Amino acid sequence: MIIPAIDLIEGEVVRLYQGDYQQKTAYRMSPLEALNRYADDGAQWLHIVDLTGAKDTTKRQLSLIKQMTATNRMKFQAGGGVRTQYDVEQLLQSGVDRVVIGSLAVKQPEKVKSWLKRYGSEQIVLALDINIDEQNRKWLAVNGWEKNSGIHLESLLNSYLDAGIKHVLCTDISRDGTLSGSNIELYTQLSRQYPSIEWQASGGIGSLQDIEALKPAKVAGVILGKALLEGNFAVKEAIECWQNASSLA
């Protein structure tokens, strides 16, 4: 499935380069314009990252998110600085279908597991950001990629399997915002190692060829951000490419 992404700072559609707030590109398109364009092209889900709320939870852009979900044009998963059960409930009450949880899933896994039990595996997405070293060890990053947690991806995933985790968005930080292609080897390995998880690949997609190349990795979703905003291709083209690749796989 193709999942377009919108990153929001103070109501603007933006993109950060490798998570760096100092390397921000703002786009003239409003969030609702982007949403409607993607929906017109056939997108069934939208991934929303509230970067303002991630920095300051008191400034979470809930009213904007409510406006977006109220269109009922697709389903929504949203995150950005989710730290408490209240944050989860606020997003769900705003019409979001799935809440995306990042750093907290690494730093306080028992709390997040309790939310999985409370709300169900369909309403929680883990967003796991990794740096891969020369030994192919996958280190989880936290705090907007500013800090290495010292925890391996596999050890964390193993602890979540018993809690019933189903949806995981995984980003290779070195690829994010680069349009240099996805880490196909990473997602192929993870899909084989954890077949019960529906993986969402994120970071690096710059062309339709990059989307096609991901199909053998058997991911459930492909997150598209910068490539769409830069006009490299349209959502409709991405969906057609993914469906054609699926029929050939």
Residue numbers annotated as active site:
7, 129
C-alpha to C-alpha distance for 131 and 244, rounded to whole angstroms: 31
Place of tokens 């907290």: 104
Strands (DSSP E) contained in 40-185 are 45-50, 75-79, 98-101, 124-132, 138-142, 147-152, 167-172
Give residue 165's identity as a one-letter amino acid code. Answer: I
The torsion angle over the Cα atoms of residues 184, 76, 2 and 187, rounded to 10 degrees, is 10
C-alpha to C-alpha distance for 70 and 156, rounded to whole angstroms: 35
C-alpha to C-alpha distance for 107 and 86, rounded to whole angstroms: 18
How many CB atoms neighbour CB 48 within 10 A? 24
Identify which of 183, 177, 186, 185 has the alpha carbon closest to the alpha carbon of residue 206.
Answer: 177
Q: How many Cα atoms sit within 13 Å of 236 on the Cβ side? A: 5
C-alpha to C-alpha distance for 138 and 130, rounded to whole angstroms: 6
C-alpha to C-alpha distance for 83 and 213, rounded to whole angstroms: 35
Identify which of 50, 36, 42 has the alpha carbon closest to the alpha carbon of residue 2.
Answer: 42
